[in-house]
Amino acid sequence: MKAFDMTEAAHQRPARSYAWGALNLLGLAVAVATALADQGSKFWLLYEFDLPDRFRVAVTPFVDFVLTWNTGISYGLFPQRGPIGAWALLAFKVVAVVLLWVWLARASSRLTAVALGLIIGGAVGNAIDRLHWPGVMDFVLFHFETADFSFRWYVFNLADLAIVAGVAGLLYESLRQGRAAKAP
């Protein structure tokens, strides 16, 4: 049996945690702020601004507020009408958030932590919608119209915007470093 050697122990790398890392607090703060902003905007539009009774409100020449309920996933894919499908989508989001959290625990840059926080916060914000509404509340419609051309993007919310910004941050990070930001 080998005796314990202090110099050998000093050179061994400690095992990295799957639950907490150096940048988790930053990612958690971004995720909480994102989910709160998303939910706050939705409650304000529903109960203070009264968007359901206004149908469509022009915010700028290119952006309108319009209320829709997304019962599927991104872009309205795989719409679910029953409780089993809705709970399956919620379970999928929970698994995704757990995996993103593990990635966050192993993040080595602030940009990666912020990007993952945005994605986690957006996923949580949209998941909360499924718990108390008939689907995810979407309300921003980007559009462009001329006499000969009409373009309407899908209706989205702040959580969706945060998820897209987070993915863009991860892509930028991978391009900036010349390699992919590695997941665990």
pLDDT tens string 126-182: 999 988 888 899 999 999 988 898 888 888 999 999 999 999 999 999 888 765 555
- 159 falls within a domain: yes
* Catalytic residue numbers, as ranges: 138, 160
Its domain, for residue 140, covers: 21-177
pLDDT band at 32 (very low <50, low <70, confident <90, very high): very high
pTM of the model as a whole: 0.81
Does residue 37 have a pLDDT over 90?
A: yes
- 42 falls within a domain: yes
How much of the chain, in percent, has pLDDT values that exceed 70? 82
Domain count, the chain: 1
CA pair distance 111, 152, nearest whole angstrom: 31
CA pair distance 59, 17, nearest whole angstrom: 46
- 78 falls within a domain: yes
- 5 falls within a domain: no
Q: β-strand 150-152 against 56-58: which pairing, if any?
A: unpaired
CA pair distance 90, 101, nearest whole angstrom: 16
- 172 falls within a domain: yes
- 4 falls within a domain: no
- 6 falls within a domain: no
What is the pLDDT averaged over residues 5-18? 59
